[in-house]
Chain A
Amino acid sequence: MQQLFPSPNAGAFGRRQTRERGARIPVTVLTGFLGSGKTTLLKRFLEMPEGYGTAVVVNEFGAVGIDDALLRSSADQTMLLGNGCLCCTTRTDLQNTLRQLVVERERGQIPDFRRVVIETSGLADPSPILQTFATDRALGELFHVETVITCADAVTGPDTLDWSAEARKQAILADLLVITKTDLADDTKSAALSEKLRALNPRAAIERAVAGDLDPALLTGAVAPTQDRSLFVAETAHSDGIGSFVMTWDKPLLWIAFARTMETLIALRGSDLLRAKGFLHIDGALGPVLVQFVQHLAHPPVELDRWPDDQRGSRLVLITRHIAEDTVRNLFAAIAALPRP
C-alpha cells in the first residue's frame, strides 16, 4: 500500500537510517553461565553515568529472584521474570514484560528509560531470545538487539564449557566475550579459557573484567571491542557440529539473488542456521544494508543513509550447525549464476 505514496528519500528497504537500530530501543542481552559474574558486571554498569536510564529485565531460574534484589537498588527499572528459563516456556513472559515496559513508560508509570538489558538465566540458550525479536513483529519494531555479551569466569569457565552445551552456545552466539574473576584464577587458567572461547567464537572480541570493571561503552555496543574481529575469521567446528564462517564479496550484490539464497538456505536448513549477520553492499542502495537471520527468521533489512568510510564490499557472518561453508558458498554461486528475471 505504501508504494501508492513513494517516498523520495526511502530506498527499497524503507527510510534510510542513520544507524541500524533506527529509532528502536537498544537491547543488550547479557548472558553467561551460573556464577559467571553477569550481575556484578551489570551492577557496575548501572552505577556509571552510561548506565543511567537502563531498564533491566532479569530472568531467574528458580523461585527466589536473588539477582533482582541485588539490582533493584541501582537500576531505574527492574523487571523480574520469575518462572524459569527465558529460552523455554517464558518467552511469552519476556514479550509481555518488554511491551509492558513501553506502555508504562508512555503512561509515565515508570521513569523514562533509554536502554534495556536482558540478563538471562545462566541456563538459557540465548538464540530463542534473539528469535523473539524477529518473530514478534510489534517487539521487533520497538526493540533492537544491539549486542549479545557472554560472561565466562576464569575459575570454572573452562570446565563449564566442556560439560555444558548451553555454555558453549552462549559463547558461540556472543558479540563480546567477557572473562571475569581473573583475579581469582591463575594466568594459566585465564589463558586456557581464552583459548577455548577463541576456538568457539573467533569473531567476538574477548575482554577481561575484574569486579565488573568494563568499559561501559562495550555493554551498549557503542564502541567496537578493541580487537579486530576480522583477524580471527576462520572456519571453526566444535563437537556440537556448530561452526562459523564469514563470506565476503567485493562487488555489489543483487538483492534478489541474495534474498533468494537466504530463503533457500532457511527453507532447507533453517533450524541449523543459528545466526547470521550481514553488512552488505547491495546494487542500487545508497548505504550499506544490514541483515540479520536467526534460524528460520529474517529481521527486516535496514539500509543506512551513508557508508561509514570509503570501504565498500559485503560481509556475511554465519553461525551454523552441520552446514559446511562450501555448501553455503556453492548455494550463493548457483543462485547468482541464474539468469536475472
Chain B
Amino acid sequence: MTTDSTCWNFKLLAQHDLQGFGGMGEGMSISLTKDGRRIIWLAHESAPKNFTGVDVTDPRKPQVVVQTDLPEAYMRSNSLEVSGDIMAVAYQTQKKGQKHAGFELFDISNPEKPRSISFTDCSGPNSRGVHQLWFCDGEYVHMAAGSDDFESTHPLDDQFYRCFDVRNPSKPVEAGRWWMPGTRVGDSAPPPKRLASRDMGFRAHNTNVYKERPDRLYLGYIDGGMFILDIADKANPKPISHWNNAPPYGGFMHTVLPLFKRNLLVITDESTVDAAKDWPKLIWVVDARDEQNLLPIATCPLPPVDAYASRGGRFGAHNIHENPSSPTAWQSDEIIFGTFFNGGLRAYDLTNPFQPKEVAAFVPPPPKGTPVGAVQLNDVFVDERKIVYTVDRHTGGLYILETDF
C-alpha cells in the first residue's frame, strides 16, 4: 500500500478552496483591521483572479471577505505585500509590450472594499512588468521588475531590481535600480554565460530588505545566483557579495533570507520543471559571518526524489517563510518553513546549522480538480501566533495549520 499524504507535527486546522479559484502564487501577507479582524491577503498564481482577502481571525473558520479580478486574462499578480493599511500588488504580463505591467497600491483599511491608490506603469517593449515585490516599511517597495527603458542583452534577462519610494502612495517615484552587469544592452561587462543545463535567465527574483539592516538588499537572481547589495544610497546600490551554486547545480536561485542574530543566510532554489527533472532544488544554509565571503555549510534534507518525482507536478524547494519585518509575522532564527510543491510543507530546525533537521512535514492529498495529480504547495507564511498558512499552486487554495513540535 502506498500513500501520498503526510501530516507530521502539524495539525491541519482548515482548508479553503477560495471559491473555486485555489491556484495561488507567492504573495501572502496579513493585515489587522481596526475592528480587530485578521485578514490574510493572497496573490493568485494566474488570471482571472487578482487577489483574495481571507478573514483568519479564527484560523479554524477562514472566510473570504473579498476576491478581485485582474483587468486582463494575459497577466497575473503572483506577489503582494502589506504594510499597515497599504497593500502593494505586482502585475506581470505574459508577453513583453502588454499593458497593465507594473504594480498597484491599495488602501485595505476596509478589507471588503480595497481602494486603488495608484498604479505604477512598468510596461514597455522589453518589459513584462513586476514578478515579485517586497514592502515592509511603508516607505519603499523593492521589486523584480522590467522597465520601458531597459533592453536586456538576452530576452530572458528582462527583470532586474527596482526600488520605488511610496511615501506618497498616490505618486510612487523610482528611488533606485540595479542589474547584474552584462545583462543590459550597453553594459561594459560581457553578458553572463548561459547555463548549459537549463537557461532560466539572469534576472531578479526576491528582493528582501529588513528593518535590522535597512542598508542591505538580499537579492535572488535566478541563474545569476544571489547578491548582497549595499543600498544605504538607494540611488546607487553597490554589490557587496555574490554567490552562485550554478553550475554545477541547476540555477534558479529564488530567495535569500538573512538570520541576522546568527550570521547565517538561508537561500532557496526554485524547482520549475515537472517530475523533478531539475532535481535537486534545495534550501541552502550559508555562513555569512563575513558578508563578503559567503560559504555554504549545509542543505536542508529533502525526502527521497524517487518517491516524489512521479507523483505529479514539481518537486523541490521554492518559497520559505521570510521573517518579514511586520508585527503580524512570526520571526525565527532557528526554524525554517519551506514549501516543496508535491513535497509539501516542511519545517527545519537550524539550531545546529551544519545539520538542519526536519521537524515537521505536511503533504496533503491531491486537491480536488488539480491538473497535475498532486499537491503543489507554493508558498508559506507564519503569523506571530505561529499559525502556518500555505497555498497550493493549482486548485487547493489555502491550508491553515498549527505546529505541534
Listed in ascending order, the chain A residues whose CB lies under 8 Å from chain B are: 1-2, 4-10, 14-15, 18, 22-23, 105-112, 114, 141
Contacts and interface: CB of A to CB of B under 8 A. Distances in A.
Interface of B: 1-9, 261-264, 287, 289, 303-304, 306-307, 332-334, 349-354, 357, 359-360, 405
A106 B261 CA distance: 33
Contacts, number: 69
A23 B351 CA distance: 13
A1 B306 CA distance: 32
Contacts of A15: 334, 349, 351
A100 to B, nearest CB: 14
B307 A23 contact: no
Interface of B is mostly: loop
Contacts of A7: 261-262, 333-334, 350-351
A-B pairs with lowest CB-CB distance, top 6: A23-B359, A23-B405, A107-B307, A2-B352, A15-B351, A5-B262
Given A15-B349, A23-B359, A110-B1, A1 B354 contact: yes
A199 to B, nearest CB: 39
Given A23-B360, A108-B3, 16 more contacts: A1-B352, A2-B352, A5-B262, A5-B353, A6-B262, A7-B261, A9-B334, A10-B334, A18-B405, A23-B359, A105-B6, A106-B304, A107-B306, A111-B3, A112-B6, A114-B8
A54 B307 CA distance: 22
A2 B351 contact: yes
Nearest to A103: B304
Contacts of B261: 7-8
B351 A14 contact: yes
Contacts of B307: 106-109
A116 to B, nearest CB: 13
Given A2-B353, A10-B351, A15-B334, A107 B304 contact: yes
Contact of A111 (B1, B9, B351, B354): B1
B5 A112 contact: yes
A22 B262 contact: no
A143 B305 CA distance: 24
A286 to B, nearest CB: 15
A4 B262 CA distance: 8
28 contacts: A1-B354, A2-B351, A2-B354, A4-B289, A7-B333, A10-B334, A10-B351, A14-B352, A18-B405, A22-B359, A22-B405, A23-B357, A23-B359, A23-B360, A105-B6, A106-B303, A106-B304, A106-B307, A107-B303, A107-B304, A107-B307, A108-B3, A108-B4, A109-B1, A109-B307, A111-B1, A111-B3, A112-B6
A112 B3 contact: yes
B303 A109 contact: no
A52 to B, nearest CB: 12
Contacts of B334: 7, 9-10, 15
Given A2-B351, A15-B351, A23-B349, A8 B333 contact: yes
Contacts of A111: 1, 3
Nearest to A22: B405
A8 B332 CA distance: 10
B3 A110 contact: yes
Nearest to B354: A1
B251 to A, nearest CB: 27
A108 B357 contact: no
A109 B353 CA distance: 30
Contact of B2 (A1, A6, A23, A108): A108
Nearest to B307: A107
A9 B261 CA distance: 10
Contacts of A1: 352, 354
Contacts of A5: 262-264, 287, 353
A141 B358 CA distance: 11
